[in-house]
Structure 1
Amino acid sequence: MRLELSPLAALGEVCPITGGPEGLHLWHARLVWTCQGTRLDLRVLAPEPLALPAAEPTEPVPGAIARCVRACAGQGALLLLANPAEALGVERIALAEGVRLFAIASEADTACWDALLALGQPCYGVRDRLAVEVLRPRPANLLSALSFGVFYAHDGLEPLSLEESPKHLAWTCAETVHAEVLGKRGFTLAEADGPVGRYDDRGNEGVVRAVLHAGGRSCWTQPRFVAPRKDACHG
């Protein structure tokens, strides 16, 4: 079953989920704090309400994030950093340890995301709507899928299928798309046009993700770490 949600558009304590039973939702909280003069915009997604810490203006951003990570531990909750470039920037983004979801709203946010991926830290990009496949439409199942990057983001371009294995990524769309496959630090690994495409890992990419474009709409897959292989092709 495919579910969809838009966590960055959520208001109040409810993040609606479409595609499942009526009333299905995640509990949502938005923490907008000023930490030593720096704005932090942190979202919390959980199966049910939980107690969260209060802001401490004299605390640096990494300390505030760490307190929220501790508050969510063992609760089945996820943290979404909605302003990575503003809150931490590329130089300090590694201090967002424990945050799995990052809003990607600008090139600066993308640079932060790529920097974290280059460090081997599992983290997933959030834009517009998220499409998640689950066996059972329950909040815990949805949060588990999000925590492992088993979803894609889109703003209207929805593939007919996305297929991934430990060694490849393939897509099928109802129209011609321009596909760009990206590797470590956002390096372009391959580009192709057409309704169907496939990328087979060489074994030296480090990480692989794809962006599909058509008619002003886009779809973003989540990164998959590529384990080095002895037969990796270099060059």
Structure 2
Amino acid sequence: MGRLRVASYNVHSCIGIDRRFAPERIAEALLDIDANVVALQELGWHHRGLSNFDQFAYLEKMTGYHVIQGPTKFHARAHYGNAILMREAAHTHQLMDLSWPLHIPRGCILAHTHWKGEPLVVINVHLGLTPWDRRRQLKQLVHEIQSHRNSHVVLMGDFNNWKPASVMFKPLSQLLPECTDQPTFHTRKAHAPLDRIYLSPGLRFDTIKVWHTPITAKASDHLPIVADISF
């Protein structure tokens, strides 16, 4: 693998800013981005989206990616959560529950693979809406990342935080010092870097781009963040 392109995208259940359910727009955006690995948040249906329409399976079929599902809601009234899409299937993966009773369920996916013969862990996370939630979830996340010191780590997701340099993120930034800070939310006029990509030491960003096209301008309330990385 020469170039490693990664992307993170909160797809808002495939409902665009025009309030139209259009999973084909998300599929088209993913094919246009052409990343090796994509982290998706808010994929699937619950109180929004077309009931019983399997968005995970749809994107797998339409894009050709191997899809790792990480639903945080999966029952008769919902199939919704996170996903990692990979051109080359992961060797193994694991799911972390970041939920807390009576709060919105949150989770994290870790995909274990190799890049240029070296171990790589790709992590997709969607943090909570409150500072209290995020602080607790970050503590869990930092503890997990510390157990992968012998691997390169790429962490992506929706961090629900407007300031990457905020104090609660300091322990994470010490482990993963390279971080994007481009605004991705709201699609109409992006001003908040909610969606970010973090890299462990030894990895570097070659290019970083907020993927703003006629399709992504409508497809979700977030814009994708895309990066080419190397070491």
TM-score computed with the length of structure 1 as normaliser: 0.35
Tell which structure's C-alpha radius of gyration is larger: 1
Larger relative contact order (Cα-Cα within 8 Å, sequence gap ≥ 6): 2
TM-score computed with the length of structure 2 as normaliser: 0.35
